[in-house]
Amino acid sequence: MAKILLDVRMLRAYDSFKALCALCLKPADFCDKLWNEFLQKPALYEEYEYYIKNKDLRDTFTFEGYSLTDIYVYILTKYKLMMDKGKNGLEESKEPIILDSFMFMAEFMNEPDKYRKKLEEGKGMDFF
């Protein structure tokens, strides 16, 4: 029988992750997919772990020149567009955008060409 070593910090991070997903009303498949991405991408997981402890992005990890803050700003502009239309009830909480930022970064790492194009089309990072 194989021995399984469990890191208590990872168990705590998983518990907080599930609670955050529930708070943000994220579907189970989104949460499962993102957690699996964390397990496959240790640098991204470390950024998440830092966020949980500090409620801030550390931004020591970048991919193709983009940090999580860059991704956060990109997604925030999308949320702002929805808020202008009166369809977003998440105005007071940054957590749903944070989770979406982590997912976007994970998908960006999996399919760089597709996601780089999304980041660079339109106003991109020049919005502000």
Per-residue pLDDT of 82-95, as tens digits, reads 555 555 454 557 89
Q: pTM (2 decimals)? A: 0.81
Token pair of 75, please?
Answer: 């997604």
What is the reported pLDDT for 2?
Answer: 54
Listed by start position, the domains of the chain span 10-126
Angle ∠(61,106,8) on CA atoms, nearest 5: 75
Quote the CA–CA distance of 32 and 19 in Å, as a whole number.
13
Residue 95 · residue 20 · CB < 8 Å: yes
List pLDDT tens digits, range 16-38.
999 999 999 999 999 999 999 99
